[in-house]
Structure 1
Amino acid sequence: MTRSEFLSQFHHLRQPHSEPDFPLRKAGRPAAVLIPLIDYGNSLQVLLTERAHHLKHHPGQISFPGGAVDETDRSFFDAALREAEEEVGLPSTHVDVVGMLPKYRTISGYEIAPVVGFVNPDFTPLIDKNEVESAFEVPLAHVLNRKNHLVHTTHRNKQAFPIYFIPWQHRMIWGATAAMLRNLSHHIHP
């Protein structure tokens, strides 16, 4: 999938199906992630991170660059770009933000704004080892293809909740990251 093919599907007026998220009892803590689509001209790759293994919450989990919205952030877009620069050294000047998917609420109490942007591949990742173990790329076509998505249903307080998984090589993308990729898939391939 190329940038122009992506944009022809991404910019539309219909409201795509969104996967169910966790029903919070109060407003979630605002957070933002960047869904960085690295534009190689003839193909798009998604840049993902593996969270540092020493972290208290979600160590080693695959995620997008992102985190909680700070008081200094003027918008979800600013928060996502700031976090991407802090975590993987992605300069905001290398990102062309094209929009945002519907917010996604997590069991950990966050309400995440997934910001979508094209990334100029002419940058060298600079990993913050306090937050990120590694960064890697996955073909966008792979994560958008729902044939590659696995869904497991779990129960909590007598309610069923789906957990999403997308295998890639020796890694497993799962949880909120996989759910947001699935929502992007619904947006691109309704």
Structure 2
Amino acid sequence: MEIGVMLDRLDRGAISGRLRSGRASRPHAQELPGAPRREPRPAAVLVPMFRYLEAWHLLFIRRTEYPGDHHSGQVAFPGGQWEPGDADAAATALREAREEIGLDPRRVVVLGELQPLHTVSNYLVTPVVGEIPWPLALRPDPSEVARVFGIPLAWLGDAAHRRVLTWPAPDHPEAREVVFYDEFDQELLWGVSAHITVDFLARLTRA
């Protein structure tokens, strides 16, 4: 069966079950393998899924650009750093999604979590997968988010649309393998968010 057809046939229960059964034995993955062990700052992102035209989509944001901020202008999932008062990773992800795009946490059905990722910027990011209704009125904070958009899960699952490159350069001290997707609707998904996307797809397609 074509991977896109298989992905779109999954229902909420099947997705939640595959997230539970696919938990990795390692405590987390590292964006830069072999990097010195430092105590990372906990963070979480929400990986929002929605059904549109009988197909699954993932919701992304493009961050507002600021001079000198190398993360600004990038495609990402809504999320951020853990704050005192957040009970767990899901609480962090839902709070950040509310602050960044005006997503009411009550409209999110949390389906599970992916393996945390220790990033080069020293965050331990836990991706939290949640289903949201669609269409849905959102209120992006323009100081943080320039655009909110969706990409079909079937398109993301087609390996022909992505490649792994050594980035920033082979001789750079932080050289690492980074996933880059082709542009979709003039948006470029790469880096940590692409890594999370590929990990999610692996969970969904694992027999």
TM-score by length of 1: 0.88
1:21 aligned to 31, 41, 66, which one? 31
Q: Which residue of 2 aligns with 1:165?
A: 180
Task: Confirm or deny: 8 A CA contact 2:110 2:130 kept in the other structure.
Answer: yes
Identical positions, percent: 29
Shift in Å, 1:130: 1.2
Q: How many angstroms apart in 1 are the aligned matches of 2:12 and 2:161?
A: 19
1:129 aligned to 132, 137, 142, which one? 142
Q: How many angstroms apart in 1 are the aligned matches of 2:171 and 2:24?
A: 27
Question: Alpha carbons of 1:95 and 1:53: their partners in 2 closer, same or farther (altered >3 Å)?
Answer: same
Q: Which residue of 2 aligns with 1:119?
A: 132
Count of aligned positions? 190
Task: Confirm or deny: 8 A CA contact 2:114 2:200 kept in the other structure.
Answer: yes
1:80 aligned to 93, 102, 121, which one? 93
Residue aligned with 2:200, SS: helix
Task: Confirm or deny: 8 A CA contact 1:32 1:113 kept in the other structure.
Answer: yes
Q: Which residue of 2 aligns with 1:30?
A: 42
Shift in Å, 1:159: 7.7
Segments of structure 1 that go 5 or more residues without pairing to the other structure are none
Q: CA RMSD in A?
A: 2.5
Shift in Å, 1:131: 0.8
Task: Confirm or deny: 8 A CA contact 1:35 1:116 kept in the other structure.
Answer: yes
Q: How many angstroms apart in 2 are the aligned matches of 1:145 and 1:19?
A: 23
What amino acid is aligned across from residue 98 of structure 1 in structure 2? L
Bigger proportion of residues as strand = 1
Q: Name which of structure 1's ranges 180-189 and 22-31 shifts more when overlaid on structure 2.
A: 22-31
Segments of structure 2 that go 5 or more residues without pairing to the other structure are 1-6
Residue aligned with 2:188, SS: strand
TM-score by length of 2: 0.82
Q: Does 1:8 align with 2:14?
A: yes
